[in-house]
């Protein structure tokens, strides 16, 4: 049985992570909490990836077609993992369980076929889904890509210019907060001394270190 939290249905804890993901998908399908998400386009797939490594990647929102993190920033992260050149962890799905701060696709009313950043209120409304996932997964490390993703994990506003690269512990989970690796974010990346290529290399180093940790 699910429970209701401020009108949002979240699943019970039975059935392991597959059951949890299935339950979340069912809850999302009927969720209407965020008016600006109308017509409530739902991603064809929800959270995905491995639960074996203990690493969770939280992105801000699904891409325009509900794609599995295959937008510009997803492409940078996939390229970074390719640069890490590991034979076992070749895809993001091999290394991370990938989830989102909001479950609906935030369609951009001003640009058909494009998305917009999720609103803070939408991230707050959707947060129980993420919280249930994290509670079920007990990850070692959560990589929050973008301020809204970090806010969804922390439950408070985040200023990315101040918090990029910060690692902190939340209970027994380590949270690493990083800037979105998107060309749209060039200004913030520049303030941290990155261009797109150097930021891709930075992620390659991070992923290499995470993989090394798995083998220790």
Contacts with ligand SF4 by CB under 6 A lie at 8, 28, 31-34, 37, 102-104, 122, 125-126
Whose Cβ is closer to ligand SF4: residue 7's or residue 87's?
7
Nearer to ligand SF4, 27 or 181 (CB): 27
Shortest reach from residue 105's CB to ligand SF4, in Å:
9
Q: Which is nearer to ligand SF4, 102 or 178 (CB)?
A: 102
Query: Minimum Å distance from CB 19 to ligand SF4?
Result: 18
Q: What minimum distance in Å lies between the beta carbon of 88 and ligand SF4?
A: 34
For helices 196-215 and 72-84, angle between their N-to-C axes, nearest 10 degrees:
50
Nearest to 99 by CA among 137, 155, 52, 140: 137
Q: In the chain, what is the greatest distance between 2 CA atoms, to the nearest angstrom?
A: 49
Structure tokens at 156: 């408070």
Distance in angstroms (rounded) separating the CA atoms of residues 170 and 152: 13
* Beta strands 55-59 and 8-10, pairing class: unpaired
According to DSSP, the β-strands at 3-5 and 8-10 are antiparallel
Instruction: Quote the least distance from Cβ 76 to ligand SF4, whole Å.
Output: 24
Specify the residue, 84 or 145, whose C-beta has the smaller distance to ligand SF4. 145
């Amino acid at each position: 049985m699910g429970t209701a939290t401020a009108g949002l249905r979240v699943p019970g804890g039975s059935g392991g992570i597959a059951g949890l993901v299935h339950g979340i998908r069912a809850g999302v399908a009927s969720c209407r909490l965020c008016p600006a998400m109308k017509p409530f386009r739902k991603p064809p797939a929800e959270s995905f990836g491995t639960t074996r490594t203990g690493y969770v990647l939280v992105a801000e929102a699904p891409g325009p077609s509900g794609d599995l993190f295959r937008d510009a920033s997803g492409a940078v992260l996939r390229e970074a993992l390719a640069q890490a050149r590991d034979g076992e962890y070749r895809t993001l799905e091999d290394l991370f369980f990938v989830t989102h701060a909001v479950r609906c696709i935030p369609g951009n009313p001003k640009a058909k076929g494009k998305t917009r950043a999720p609103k803070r209120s939408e991230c707050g409304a959707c947060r129980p889904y993420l919280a249930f996932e994290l509670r079920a997964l007990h990850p070692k490390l959560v990589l929050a890509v973008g301020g809204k993703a970090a806010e969804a994990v922390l439950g408070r506003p985040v200023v990315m210019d101040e918090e990029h690269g910060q690692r902190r512990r939340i209970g027994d989970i380590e949270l690493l907060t990083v800037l979105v690796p998107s060309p749209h974010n060039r200004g913030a990346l520049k303030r941290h001394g990155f261009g797109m290529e150097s930021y891709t290399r930075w992620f390659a180093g991070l992923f290499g270190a995470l993989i090394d940790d798995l083998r220790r």
